[in-house]
Amino acid sequence: MILNTYLNRRFGKPIWGCGRVRVKGVDMKILRIDVGEETVTAEAVPETLKLIGGRAFTSGWIYDFVDPECDPLGPYNHLVIAPGLLAGTPSSSVHRLSVGAKSPLTGGIKESNSGGIVAYKMARMGIKAVVIAGAPPEGKWSVLYIGPDGGRFDAAGDILGKGTEAAAQSLHHVYGDDAALMVIGPAGENRFSSAAILNSDREGFAARVCGRGGMGAVMAAKGVKAIVIDDTGTGPVSIADNDGFKKGAKQYIECLRETPQTSEIYTKFGTAAMTDVANELGGLPTLNFKKGRFDGAEKINGRTLYRTIVERGGNPSHACMPGCVICSSNIYVDASGEAIVRSLEYETLVLFGPNCGIDDLDELARINWMCNDIGVDTIELGVAVGIAMDAGIIPFGDADGVKGLLDEVRKATTMGRVLGQGAAVAGKVFNVKRIPVVKGQAMAAYEPRAIKGHGVTFATTTMGADHTAGFTIREGLDSHKKDGQVEASGRMQVNGMLYDMLGVCLFAHPAVRNRHDTLTRMVNGRWGTDITTAGLRKIAVAAMTTERAFNRKAGLGPSSDRLPEIFYREENPSSGTVFDIAPDALDALEYE
């Protein structure tokens, strides 16, 4: 384990099975679950892994224990669920949950994270990670219950086949309103590579999505329809050095409150604040990434979204996790004030919006709800549907047509299966010339010819075309020029990993970009350690190196670190640019 090699040097101890992580008498544990044997085993966490959390944990575990050549949907893959290092602590925006596996979509290592309350509760239960391995008996489906006294397999029963909303309602009926859930929908049950895992939010709605890379299909391959996390009887997480932690948290929250983005812009407009920025740059994916500017952008931008929600009595500033002061989430309601979806966000708005030629917020909210209920990644499906439109299956702008296609995904018709397998498969089947994917994964809503730093991230991150993996657009560069983009992407990729291992929401970045010391203080307070900010960053780099090493062994070499050729050849007419960052320059990207 590359991670361990680094840690070994730092802690000067052998790696596995030595010591144990204990904070004020509370032992942390890793739950190993074998779905073939139906066993749940709790084991102590070796001291050396104390500061390995979230994505650093999932990726390190996968590197150590998953054969890079294994079938992602076979018994040798592991589904690894790990709260970030700060999860459960009394702070803002720190309870993100990482879910990792070898991805059936990319064939490489994958981590997909979400907000909500799962990580928060797991942390309170002293759970460092849950690892699910093996293959279930043919046709067997379970609900995996994890409670204060351990774990058990319950029969999935009649929630099988249900959408995530109905399934969550049934589960709450059985396991109580306070249990946190991780649920898959019909898409997961059908092992679609776009299948997501839906996690409970603060109010118990399964609406926070680990969307990317088909983690829902891996969960399905383990025969697990849902995981119930019941933290009944647990208290707040133990904090080794309360004063130290509080000092860091106070400084951190001050940063959040003092920064306009985190105290006002994201709070009011949420992720949709990005719409005008991207449109202005000609970087808003429009009509299957044909161009980067959309006539109807104003109808779906952050301002319109905010105004509509406020006028109708919805909630424009919803917190998806306890203690969050940013509140970038929302509850989008219809004209009668009834909730349609929690929450309507930028990637969904754009990839089903401009990318599909649709400019109607209500329709986009309904489409979003359908995706959540079916249990698919809205990015993957938005791009796949854009491809289907480009191929003439339905016209651009046809919202009813989109809902019809999503119904097919739910029913797993042949058309639905093609779309459910994601944009790369849909692009191949429908033979369109522009297939906006990297490593088989659909691009998020940043047109890479106009926003070149995101293009670099899409190309080079181990994750496929993710946006959170290296978010460069706010890094002060000229988006249309290639200068500095590789360096910016490398830097933001490390930042991305850092936040993902801590469980910190990427939205805190504008506030703490120069104040990572506040995060470090919280980490040291929580765990009783004395790591430096540079030390945390070194762990992040080690974890990324681990991910890349896994990908290389899995067959994703440098030639997979590329945008599709057409983005080099065909101009984005809205920006007047092509993607012109040479393969050599991409290969030279460094994590720093």
Nearer to a copy of itself, 83 or 223 (CB): 223
Q: Does 110 bind a copy of itself (CB under 8 A)?
A: no
DSSP code string of 478-533: -TTS-TTHHHHHHHHHHHHHHHHHHT--GGGHHHHTT-HHHHHHHHHHHHT----H
Site for a copy of itself in 156-215 (CB under 8 A): 190-193
Q: Which is nearer to a copy of itself, 89 or 190 (CB)?
A: 190
Shortest Cβ distance from residue 555 to a copy of itself (Å)?
4
Q: Which two tokens stand for residue 315?
A: 């909630």
Instruction: Render 62-103 in DSSP notation, one character per residue.
Output: HHHHS-TTS-TTSTT--EEEEE-TTTTSSSSS---EEEEEE-
Residue 306 main-chain phi, psi, to 5 deg: -60, -50
Cβ neighbour number for residue 317 with a 10 Å cutoff: 20
Q: Which amino acid is at 335?
A: A
Q: Please give the residues from 220 up to 249 whose contact with a copy of itself meets the rule CB under 8 A.
A: none
Residue 202 beta carbon to a copy of itself: minimum distance, rounded to whole angstroms = 35
Does 74 bind a copy of itself (CB under 8 A)? Our answer is: yes
Q: Answer yes or no whether residue 562 interacts with a copy of itself by CB under 8 A.
A: yes
According to CB under 8 A, which one of 339, 549, 566, 585 is a site residue for a copy of itself?
566
The correct pick among 418, 497, 544, 581 for binding a copy of itself (CB under 8 A) is: 418
Two structure tokens written together for 133: 């391995």
β-sheet bridge partners, residue 331: 315, 342
Per DSSP bridges, beta strands 180-183 and 197-200 are antiparallel
- Smaller CB separation from a copy of itself, 321 or 418: 418
- Indicate whether 425 belongs to the interface with a copy of itself (CB under 8 A): yes
Which one, 270 or 416, has the nearer CB to a copy of itself? 416
Lookup: tokens for 325: 């002061």
Between 69 and 311, whose beta carbon lies closer to a copy of itself?
A: 69
Least distance CB 421 / a copy of itself (angstroms):
5
Among the listed residues 557, 576, 582, 590, the single contact to a copy of itself using CB under 8 A: 557
Peptide bond into 103 cis (omega under 30): no
Residue 514 interacting with a copy of itself (CB under 8 A): no
Least distance CB 194 / a copy of itself (angstroms): 12
**According to the 3-state scheme, what is the secondary structure of 249-314?**
HHHHHHHHHHCHHHHHHHHHHHHHHHHHHHHHCCCCCECCCCECCCCCHHHHCHHHHHHHHHHHCC
d(CA 385, CA 420) in angstroms, rounded, equals 10
Binding to a copy of itself by residue 78, rule CB under 8 A?
Answer: no
Contact string 369-408 vs a copy of itself (x = CB under 8 A): ------------------------x---------------
Among 428, 474, 513, 538, binds a copy of itself (CB under 8 A): 428
Contact region for a copy of itself (CB under 8 A) — 35-43, 78-86, 326-334, 562-570? 562-570
Options 54, 136, 316, 564; binder of a copy of itself; rule CB under 8 A? 564
Q: Tell me which DSSP letter residue 108 carries.
A: S
Per CB under 8 A, 76 contacts a copy of itself: yes
Asked if 429 interacts with a copy of itself (CB under 8 A), we say: yes
User: What minimum distance in Å lies between the beta carbon of 565 and a copy of itself?
Assistant: 4
Amino acid at 170: S
* Cα–Cα distance list, 403 to 369, 416, 549 (Å): 10, 11, 40
Choose the stretch contacting a copy of itself; rule: CB under 8 A; options: 71-79, 113-121, 175-183, 323-331.
71-79
565 binding a copy of itself? (CB under 8 A)? yes
Q: Which is nearer to a copy of itself, 64 or 570 (CB)?
A: 570
69 binds a copy of itself (CB under 8 A): yes
68 in contact with a copy of itself (CB under 8 A): yes
**HSE on the CB side for 515, CA within 13 Å?**
18
Cα distance between residue 131 and residue 82, in whole Å: 9
Q: Which residues contact 522 (CB under 8 A, 6 or more apart)?
A: 86, 89, 91, 94, 245, 248, 249, 252
Based on the shown chain and the rule CB under 8 A, indicate whether residue 569 belongs to the binding site for a copy of itself: yes
Q: Which of 339, 538, 583, 587 binds a copy of itself (CB under 8 A)?
A: 583
Is residue 347 within 8 Å of residue 445, measured between CB atoms? yes
* Min CB(83)–a copy of itself separation in Å: 31
- Which of the ranges 111-119, 141-149, 395-403, 420-428 carries the binding residues for a copy of itself, by CB under 8 A? 420-428
Q: Which residue has the tokens 């940043």?
A: 446
Binding residue for a copy of itself (CB under 8 A) from 177, 235, 431, 514? 431
> Residue 346 to residues 229, 310, 367: CA-CA distances in angstroms?
29, 18, 14
Query: CA triplet 382, 102, 369: central angle to 5 degrees?
Result: 30
User: Residue 62 and residue 101: Cα distance in Å, rounded?
Assistant: 7
Size of interface with a copy of itself, in residues (CB under 8 A): 37
553 is a site residue for a copy of itself (CB under 8 A): yes
Residue of 417, 449, 515, 548 interacting with a copy of itself (CB under 8 A) = 417
Minimum CB distance to a copy of itself, residue 108 (Å): 11
Instruction: Enumerate binding residues for a copy of itself (CB under 8 A).
Output: 68-71, 74-76, 190-193, 393, 414-415, 417-418, 421, 425, 428-431, 552-560, 562, 564-566, 569, 583
